[in-house]
Structure 1
């Protein structure tokens, strides 16, 4: 099937993108407003954007009403600073809850029950328990033509790596991290690794096989088909747990 991208509205294009570009790493971003109110947001339109200087990119949509800018973006724009954390399985529930649309004057660290840790180079705090964090300053903001969607490119000015994950040769012990990625509107945990080629038995074992669900939902379940899902990427309030 071929689908003409020009014929799609934003919601339809979004569903095709998030169901096709999988798994996506999740940036769990902390910011502070100009009034010092803490904000948290999981952003899965996220990738590395450079190595010298080290940079990352985040693409951020408006809130579920389609017109209000998300607090995380407003804070990045107004303060020029943010912290990106690695999303991992032990913290997946607070990560998920932080996708909810809290009021701008509500400190999300307090609302979710997460402890703030001081950053070294920027004002927004780190999340206690997150094994890896990038303290970032805004390098540039690239707006979409609609003025509501934005790409934020951040320059990493300080790396935090939990001591046991930082190996003597300067690399990360990725096998010990248990990173969580995003599928369409659901999550996946990275729990295996390989280098090609794989033997024919292993390839045959995975041929045509569906993903194994770790929850109790049916194998064809999709959060997109529920009232929890929003095309803004936000978790609708009332569905936090």
Structure 2
């Protein structure tokens, strides 16, 4: 079956994308508004972009009517900095709770009981309970569409990264997957613990590597 997006309504497109683009890592984004009030919200449109400079992106979508922009987007337009806290199984209940539609200015840190700690390079705090956090300065905000079903791409340059000492191999900078237990978003209300069902494959990096499989 071939689907033509121009013939589908927003809900159908959302359901199709969310049940096929998966698992999606969750960026637990902390920001502050112009008055310094904190916000904490999860985003499952999230990915690394490149290493030099270290860059990440996340995508806030248009919220339900009557709001036009999510608080996170409004905050980074006023204070162009944010922290991506990696969502893990240890914090997943708080991550889910922080998606609740609080009025602007009310803090999800208070709602979830998570602990804000000062960042070293940016004004928004990071989540103390998160094992990994990226402090970012906004590089660009790209508007795809401000209409219902639309959204924005927020690109951030990473100025500093934080990681639990117990999870990091200092020789390679690999982070222990089973210690981190990152959570991914699936379709509907389903999530997955990314450390619970893994396997390893050998990457073929050269033509000589390919010759070994014959």
TM-score between both structures, scaled by the size of structure 2: 0.87
User: Which runs of structure 1 show a deviation greater than 6 angstroms over 4 or more consecutive aligned residues?
Assistant: none
Residue 174 of structure 1 corresponds to 177
Q: Distance in 1 between matches of 2:170 and 2:32?
A: 34
2:198 is equivalent to residue 193 of structure 1: yes
What 5-or-longer segments of structure 1 have no aligned partner? 198-241
CA deviation vs aligned residue, 1:122-180 (integer Å, no higher than 9, x gap): 01001121000000010001001436511100111000011111113122122321111
Per-residue deviation, 1:81: 0.3
Corresponding residue of 2:70: 70
Q: Could you tell me how far apart the structure 2 residues matched to 1:32 and 1:110 are?
A: 14
The answer to whether the 8 A contact 2:114-2:129 is kept is: no
Aligned residue for 2:100, secondary structure, equals coil
- How far off its partner does 1:35 sit? 1.0
Tell me the residue number matched to 1:52: 52
- Structure 2 contact 40–109 (Cα < 8 Å) conserved: yes
Q: 1:28 to 1:181 in 2, by over 3 A?
A: same
Residue 156 of structure 1 corresponds to which residue in structure 2? 158
Q: How many Å separate the matches in 1 of 2:58 and 2:187?
A: 17
Provide the C-alpha distance between the structure 2 equivalents of 1:59 and 1:66, rounded to a whole number of angstroms.
19
Q: Bigger CA drift: 31-40 or 170-179? A: 170-179
Q: Count matched residues.
A: 197
CA contact (8 A) 2:145 2:152 kept: no
Unaligned runs of 5+ residues in structure 2 are: 203-214
2:7 is the alignment partner of 1:7: yes
Distance 1:141 1:46, change over 3 A: same
The alpha-carbon deviation at position 65 of structure 1 amounts to 1.7
* In structure 1, C-alpha distance between the alignment counterparts of 2:11 and 2:179, rounded to whole Å: 36
TM-score by length of 1: 0.78
- SS at 1:144's partner residue? strand
* 2:37–2:107 CA contact under 8 A, matched in 1: yes
